[in-house]
Structures are given as structure tokens and as C-alpha cells.
Copies of this chain bind each other. A is one copy, B any other.
Amino acid sequence: MPFVMVQIPKQSAPSLPAQRPVPTSADVARLAGVSRATVSYVLNNTSAVRISEPTRRRVHAAAKELGYVPHAAARSLRAGHSRMVLMPAPTVPVNPLYSGFFNELQWALSRLDYTVVQYGSVGLSGDDIARAWAELRPVAVVAPGAWLGPEGVAVLKRSGARAVVTLSPEAVEGAHTLILDHRGVGENAIAHLLTRGRRRIGVVMPQESGLSAFSKPRLEGCHRAVQGTDASLTELPLAYEEEAAAALAARWRSLDLDAVFAYNDEYAMLLMRALQDEGLRIPEDLSVVGADDLMLGRLLRPRLTTVHIQLPAGRDLAELVDRAVREPGVIPETRGVLSLRVVHRESS
């Protein structure tokens, strides 16, 4: 059956950019006429070994010609470790405060020669998340919020993570914890309103689900602040929409409140506008306090009283990570890092 011998070309459409195999260090070695070991020495500038200048040039030329790029997975497999710091990618729009903090952290870590990777963890939950992260064998994990429990921390450490840092409301067993206690935000806001003589205080609770991690602790702090006083708290559920704010404003007078802590500056702006449109005067008829100290609070009229939140310096956190990586023996430390300050302006 001689006709069967006619070879069918592998690529029937050779005009397409043929799916060429990715060049490896072996290819570079072959082209340069040296061994793979030599290629490795040259490309990594290994100081323990001296390679002749002509050879170096041939290797570099070959690498460039092939467009060789080393394979990170292979390298870290061989090395037995990586310098990857893993953080979960944010799932809710972050305010400038947070994004500034993370940029600084990222920058500082890369100065220390770490590679920062944000890992999207949509759909996973609980300890599955920790397992998914552990598969990447990061040298360190920085996890804001309540992503990680003690179990997750243990999984990560068993998988070689030398530092696990959480930024959360309370200490997590086995991990370094920077305590970001948002209760203090509510507490400060309410305390301020009390000194202004307010007693019947509303607390805005955003209906956006991703925000409950912040809104609940803030509310808890509010309750703590009214303990042992004659003031009363009223929860005010509010979606971040004009209509919702208008509806709340419409029934405002029946609520009989003389102040409101609006969760943050953005909700404060939303609510203030609706209240003003209803003819309510701020601060005569009621006081309004926001939080986060965003620029927009200064641009409102009246200017918005707010709780300024100072996050720790990204550089400090980066150094904590680095220290923990280099001395894995140290006891995980826990410390509060939210420094809060009421900025009194005109709305209260």
C-alpha cells in the first residue's frame, strides 16, 4: 500500500505561526555548543565559577536569538523555595487609604527582593483557600480580613510558608497579627457625638455585603461607646443608592434622632445630601460623622467631621515579613496598628 506512505504534514496550515516549542536552557546550550551547566552559570552570573569571555558571549547570543526565558516553576522546584509573597486580591472596591497602603507594601517587599503575587480567590471559601494558596508554596502570606483561620495558617506553614501575617480584628493562632480593630472607629465617632451633647444616635449599616467585615465591628464599637450612658443607638440599614438615601431621609423626622454615624465618608455624603434635600439642617438639626477622612469630606458643606484612620506603614509590614522569613523561630507577635483620630469639622 505505497500510497499510505504519503506523509500528511503536521501543520496543515503552515501560514499560522507554528506552535513552536518553548526554548529551554538545553536549546540554548545546543545552539551555543556548550553544556546546560555552562548556560546556567553564565545566565546566573555564578561567581563561584569562572567562564571565559568568548563562551559567555556565545551563550548570551544564543539565549537572545532563541528568546530564552527561564522557567520560574522549574527553578523554584529545584531550589526548594521561592521568594513569592502571596496576598489575596481585593474583592471589593478599596478606598484610597487601603490601596495606598498596599502599594507601599508591595513596593517595599520588591525592594527586599520578594515577588508579590495577588491571588484571586473567587468562589473558594475557608480552608480551601488556604490549600489553594499552599499549592503555590509561597515563602510568606499576607492576608487582610478574616480570610485565614488557625487551621489555614497551619496548612500554610506545613507547606513551607515561613511567615503568615494577618491583618484582622483579632489575633489568629500561629500567625503574626496586625490588629486592625475597626471597633475603635465606631467608638471614637460615638464618643465625639456624646461630647457634642448628642444622645439619640443613628448608625448607618451599609447593605453592600462585602462591607460587613468593617461595618459590624464599627457598630460593635458604637455599642461599647454608649455603655453606661443615657444615649441610645438606632441601626439604619442603607444601600449605596440615591433612592435608598431619599427614603431614609423621608422618614427621618419620625426617627427622632439628633446625630448619625454614617459608616464612612461616602455614605455620609450620600445621606447628608438626602437629608439636606429634605430641609434638615446640619449640624443644627443633627450631627453627622463619617470615617476614613477622604478628600470629599473636606469638600462638603458643611465640612464633614470624620474619623481619620492611620494604617501602619507598608514599609514596616514589609520588614516584619522579611524578619519572619529569615528567622522562622520567632514567636508570632500581635499588635494593634490602627491609630485613630477624630477630625472635627463643621458637621457636628
Contact = CB atoms under 8 A, between A and B. Distances in A.
A281 interface: no
Interface string A98-117: 01100100110111000111
B242 A270 contact: no
A120 interface: yes
B240 A69 contact: no
A237 interface: no
A275 to B, nearest CB: 12
Nearest to A174: B17
Given A96-B93, A116-B89, A70 B298 contact: no
Interface in A236-269: 240, 242, 266, 269
A72 interface: yes
Interface residues of A, number: 65
Contacts of A240: 295
A328 interface: yes
Nearest to A130: B69
Contacts of A270: 295, 299
Interface of A: 13, 16-17, 19-20, 22-23, 67, 69-74, 76-77, 82, 89-96, 99-100, 103, 106-107, 109-111, 115-120, 122-123, 131, 134-137, 154-155, 157-160, 240, 242, 266, 269-270, 273, 295-296, 298-299, 301, 328-329
9 contacts: A16-B329, A22-B160, A73-B76, A93-B94, A110-B122, A115-B119, A115-B120, A116-B120, A118-B118
Q: Which 7 A-B pairs have the closest CB atoms?
A: A118-B118, A73-B73, A116-B120, A72-B135, A93-B99, A69-B134, A67-B158
